[in-house]
Amino acid sequence: MKKRTLNLLIAIIILAVTISCDNDNDPTNNVCENNYVTDLITTAFSTANGYDDLPEWMDLETHEYEIQINADGEICSVGYQNPSTYTGGYTIEIINNTNASAIDYSGTHTFSQTALDYQTITPVQVSSGDFITVKRTILPGYTNLNETLGRVLRPTNLTNIAYPVTQGNVVFQGSVFYGAGGPIANIAQPYIALGFKVN
C-alpha cells in the first residue's frame, strides 16, 4: 500500500511539474498584444481619474509622447484614428531613447476615420526600463489646419498633466505638440496606441 501511494505521489509530482513548465511554442505567449498600451492609456487617463477624451483636438502637426516600458519585449504595432477632417497619412516614429543599438521605426500610415486602427510595424526591441518616444506627424501637403487635429486625453480642470503617470508596467513621462505652432508641453496625452509582445 505504501509503495502504491508513493508511486502515485511521484506520478502526480512529475505530472504537475510537466504541466506547469512554460512552452515557448504557446501562441498566447508569443503574440503582439495590440491593446497593451491602449488599455493602459485608457485606464490611466480615464474620466474617473479626471480626464476628458477629446477625439479631435490640438491642431499642431506633431503629437508626441515619451513612455517607459518596464518589460522586455518588442513594440510590434501602432494604433491610431484619423480625425473626421483628414483622410491622408502620417509619419509614425517609435524611437528607443535608451538603447542606441535598437533599430527605431519610421513609416507612413493612413488610419481609419471611424475606429482605432492597428497596423503592424517592423518591431522595435525594448528592454525593461527603456524610454521610448512615440510621434505622429501629419504628412506635408495638408490644406487646412483642422486636418492636424488628433485624439487626446486632457485634464478636465484644464491644467497640465502631472507627469510621470504610472499604469501597470508603463510610465508615461511627458508629451509635446508642435509644428505650425507650439511647442506646447504636457497639456494632454496623445492617443497613439502601441502593440507590445512580451518576451
Is position 125 within any domain?
yes
| CB contact at 8 A, 180 and 145 | yes
Residue 6 falls inside a structural domain: no
Judge whether 18 lies within some domain. Answer: no
The verdict on residue 190 lying in a domain is yes
pLDDT in tens, 45-102: 999 999 999 999 999 999 999 999 999 999 999 999 999 999 999 999 999 999 988 9
Give one DSSP letter per residue of 52-114, joined into a string.
Answer: EEEEEE---SEEEEEEEE-SSEEEEEEEE---TT--S-EEEEEEESS-TTSPPEEEEE---SS
Q: Which residue has the higher pLDDT, 26 or 62?
A: 62
Q: What is the CATH number of the domain that holds 141?
A: 2.60.120
Instruction: Write out the H or E segment, with its range, that includes residue 157.
Output: none
Q: How many domains are contained in the chain? A: 1
Looking at the domain assignment, is residue 162 inside a domain?
yes
My answer on whether omega of the bond before 164 falls inside 30° of 0, hence cis, is: yes
* 55 found inside a domain: yes
151: which 3 cell numbers? 485624439
Residue 2 covered by a domain:
no
How many CA atoms lie within 13 Å of 171's alpha carbon, on the beta-carbon side? 11
pTM reported for the whole predicted model: 0.83
Give the domain range for residue 186: 30-198
pLDDT of 3 over the 70 cut = no
C-beta of residue 93 within 8 angstroms of C-beta of residue 105: yes
Residue 21 domain flag: no
- For residue 132, pLDDT over 90 is answered with yes
